[in-house]
Amino acid sequence: MVESSTVIGHQMALDRLSAAISKDQNSHAYLITGPDSVGKNCVANYIASALNCENTSQIPCGQCSQCNRISRGVHSDCETISVDVDGNLHGDGNKRTVITIDQVRKIIRESYLKPYEGKYRVYIIQQSERMSEEASNALLKTLEEPPEQVVIILISSVPEQILPTLVSRAQLISLKKVNWHELQKGLIQKFQLDNNVAEELSKTCDGKPGIAVKILNDEEYKKWRSDALDEVEFLAEASSYSRFIYGGSLSKRYLKDRDASIAVLTLWQEWWRDVLISSYGIDDSIINQSRIKKISYYANRYGSPNCARNVRMLTDTIEKLKKNFNPSLTFEQLMLSMPTLT
Ligand SMILES: [Zn+2]
């Protein structure tokens, strides 16, 4: 099993955090932003480990029992809060889409207790833009007078949707995509991969180490990725009418699980970007190397302007869905506006 909490890249941010925490100059709240799968959760775990590490010279050491328990997700003072925390579907058959006031009240209650086993209680709030207004306001009160041994880490890929007063209370850590050389080096170092395998994987991941870890660990993810690429190839060939029908099913899927749907659209966008690059004849920067034959086939048939248009349309669609536009209309518009071959 590959260790999924290992951070790849972001060295400057990590060095700065370690230096501040080792001088007890940590913040009571951090906001970690950046694209999906870039390593936001890993950096949050890094902070939790640095805060609780038993080592005095180099923190986090990654070896002591505190670091070890945090990386295995079993440390009793470190808790992750997310929208579907219990993994259940709710009354309407959908996943919970907001972080509720009750989830935040639990943090507030516990934060006045002493840590059980470490030096700090650390709460990591994933997709923190999904906190309800009530929940955000309750958390804000805690951050205005934070208890001594508590650190709250907000994670978000759309920080502009978080209550601004909450953002202003947190130290910002903005993560960018990791360049592929650094990613390759990280994969070799941490997972002992062969040079060539690490190179192909790092090019596939578009600067997002989380995708590399998923591909290494997760058969289900490989299948999901392969199905989503089959779908975009199917749509590239489909008539307007077939696409229109398809739009309806996409909208239903979105209502069931919006994160999974946005991940599929992001993969399609990446595939069309590959087709666009191929239309310019620069095949070695293509991410989906395993699909290169079809990519260059569609590059020839669609031509650069249409490929560029599809990338743009998908970018717009993702933006609209994140801003809660009507999904049914948004998918319909996407399916009808993308150029077809027939
Ligand atoms: Zn340690």
Distance 139 CA to ligand 1 centre (A): 29
Distance 123 CA to ligand 1 centre (A): 18
Percent of the chain with pLDDT over 70: 94
pLDDT at 92: 53
- Place 1 in a pLDDT band, splitting at 50, 70 and 90: very low
For residue 124, the number of C-alpha atoms closer than 13 Å in the C-beta half-sphere is 22
C-alpha distances in Å from residue 201, one per residue of 156, 183, 263:
25, 9, 18
Distance 56 CA to ligand 1 centre (A): 9
Give the C-alpha separation, 148 to 38, whole Å. 30
> Average pLDDT of 103-123?
94
Mean pLDDT of the chain: 89
Give the C-alpha separation, 69 to 67, whole Å. 6
Distance 326 CA to ligand 1 centre (A): 47
Give me the residues near ligand 1 (ion), CB cutoff below 5 Å.
53, 55, 60-61, 64, 67
Give the C-alpha separation, 328 to 43, whole Å. 36
- Place 70 in a pLDDT band, splitting at 50, 70 and 90: very high
> Average pLDDT of 119-144?
94
Query: CB-based contacts of 121: which residues, under 8 Å, 6+ apart?
Result: 77, 78, 79, 110, 111, 113, 115, 149, 150, 151
> Average pLDDT of 22-36?
95
Distance 256 CA to ligand 1 centre (A): 40
- Place 213 in a pLDDT band, splitting at 50, 70 and 90: confident
- By the 8 A CB rule, do 227 and 307 touch? no
- By the 8 A CB rule, do 270 and 206 touch? yes
The better pLDDT of the pair 327, 200 is held by 327
pLDDT at 86: 52
- By the 8 A CB rule, do 236 and 74 touch? no
For residue 28, the number of C-alpha atoms closer than 13 Å in the C-beta half-sphere is 16
The answer on pLDDT for 35 being more than 50 is yes
Note the pLDDT tens digit of each residue in 225-260: 899 999 999 999 999 899 989 999 999 999 988 878
**Token pair belonging to 38:** 């870039």
Dihedral over Cα of 161, 166, 167, 171: its sign: negative
pLDDT at 221: 77
The better pLDDT of the pair 89, 1 is held by 89
Distance 69 CA to ligand 1 centre (A): 10
Amino acid at 230: D
Distance 68 CA to ligand 1 centre (A): 7
Radius of gyration of the chain (CA): 22
Distance 49 CA to ligand 1 centre (A): 6
Distance 43 CA to ligand 1 centre (A): 15
Distance 65 CA to ligand 1 centre (A): 7
Distance 54 CA to ligand 1 centre (A): 5
Domains along the sequence of the chain with CATH: 11-174 (3.40.50.300), 180-210 (no CATH), 218-337 (1.20.272)
pLDDT at 4: 43
Distance 81 CA to ligand 1 centre (A): 23
The better pLDDT of the pair 224, 334 is held by 334
**Token pair belonging to 316:** 């717009």
> Average pLDDT of 172-188?
93
pTM (2 d.p.): 0.71
The answer on pLDDT for 138 being more than 50 is yes
